[in-house]
Amino acid sequence: MIRRISMLMTGAALGAFAMLAVFQSTGLSQNANAAGSETYRQLDIFGDIFERIRSQYVTEPKEEKLIKDAINGMLQALDPHSSYLDLKESTSMREQTKGEFGGLGIEVTMENELVKVITPIDDTPASKAGVLAGDLVSEIDGTAVRGLSLQQAVEKMRGLVNTPIELTILRKGADKPLKIKIVRAIIELKSVKFRVEGDDIGYLDVNGFTEKTLSGMEAAIKKIRDQVPEDKLKGYVLDLRLNPGGLLGQAIGVSNAFLNRGEIVSTRGRQKNDVQRNNATPGDLTRGKPVIVLINGGSASASEIVAGALQDHRRGTILGTRSFGKGSVQTIIPLGGDNGALRLTTALYYTPSGCSIQGKGIDPDIRIEQPLPKELQGRVEARGESSLRNSIEGESQDDSGSGSFAYVPPDPKDDVQLNYAMDLLRGLKKDASFPPNTDDVTSGNKNCKRA
């Protein structure tokens, strides 16, 4: 995971890849009502305007782009997360949800209009070719990076497996730019990373919810238990900071890994009877060990489902700062042939207590701020769902809004939130919210506007 500032804009995390919407593969449950005569009159107006732009605008426009922009304008007026995905964009989303793609194997961010390498992933084409952390990519196959967005640059670096690419790299200490040729390969994204902290705490870092997240979580917990004797293991830290979301089913599966029973999440659509509930099944993989969940303003969507479920069932203590507050579900609707897909908001999700966190977010049980480094102070602002243009107003939303700063220091020694959590697990610090009071498990719609 890129442990830098995460600026959440229109539901996308600025990092190595764009935010994945929580989505279901179901179709539409209700047929739309037939359009009336007024609707057709308005469509005639649209057709007239399109034809006048096409034939009379001062420079000849691209018709395909005009139509795509018109469609996205209509969708973005609904909410920040509905959009039209052309064939290339819908293919890219499928790759991200599968957790693998053809690429180089580098985690990147943007710095001074250049792509900066955070780290090359071990045993990938980039690391084998000699790309180093801190390298600045100035050109991709001869095309200047300046003027490109991070997402556009990432798309240029991805491509078909076994195809070559040349990066022009500016490296500190080198007297001239370096030309590095790399052959793309299948890159598998690890959405779950883990380690043993000290010799008594299991640390689980979930940076997204792809098709492989649950299996990665199961494998990580097993390896931690293999390394640490049961009587010595103090508990787990589940780190969901800077986690922009992903697949709804995977969020349910990860929640289920810590629960034995009870509702995990419900989704409610346009019609009153359009309600789906997802419940836990017996089999807590951690065998009841204490769990502390870390969240911040970069925790959105699917990660909020997990945090909300563990909080409401008093299975875990939530520590950090208020989450992003994206409580909507996007359904991906294929449009057939090469027409791409429609990403449409079709439901809102609710925590087990019946609370919508849309525009509100998850409030931590223990609020611990992570100080921003001096170079970021005054240059970034806390953002959340409630501050996005055309955001759906949630039932629990209030004037305080949602979100908070989304920063995690690269060195764990500087990680105030993580170290506080480990001190709680080891008994070096005390707090009334840890361990959580299981006599107060939420049932029904109580106090959704949390203090």
Interior angle at CA 268, CA 262 and CA 269, nearest 5: 160
d(CA 49, CA 14): 35
Task: Tell how many helices (H) and how many strands (E) occur in the chain.
Answer: 9, 22
Question: Tokens at residue 270, please?
Answer: 């346009």
Q: Annotated catalytic sites, by residue?
A: 301, 312, 326
- Counting other chains too, the contacts that 148-157 makes at CB distance below 8 Å and 24 or more residues apart are 149/110, 150/14, 150/15, 150/108, 150/109, 150/110, 150/115, 151/12, 151/17, 151/18, 153/108, 153/110, 153/115, 154/16, 154/17, 154/108, 155/92, 157/103, 157/104, 157/106
d(CA 130, CA 190): 21
For residue 69, give every residue at least 6 positions away whose Cβ sits within 8 Å of its Cβ, in sequence order, or none: none
Count the Cβ atoms, other than its own, within 10 Å of residue 317. 23
Q: Which of 97, 46, 92, 104 is nearest to 73 (CA)?
A: 46
d(CA 201, CA 421): 10
Sole residue written with tokens 């419900």:
266
Interior angle at CA 137, CA 16 and CA 120, nearest 5: 55
In three-state secondary structure terms, 353 is coil
Measured over the CA atoms of residue 380, residue 382, residue 386 and residue 391, the dihedral's sign is positive
The number of residues making up the chain comes to 451
SS (H, E, C) 237-268: EEECCCCCCECHHHHHHHHHCCCCCCEEEEEE
d(CA 19, CA 301): 10
8 Å CB contact between 7 and 382: no
Residue 250 class from Cβ within 10 Å (0-12 exposed, 13-18 middle, 19+ buried)? buried
Calculate the CA dihedral of residues 192, 196, 200, 205 and round it to 10 degrees. -30
For residue 306, give every residue at least 6 positions away whose Cβ sits within 8 Å of its Cβ, in sequence order, or none: 206, 238, 240, 251, 254, 255, 293
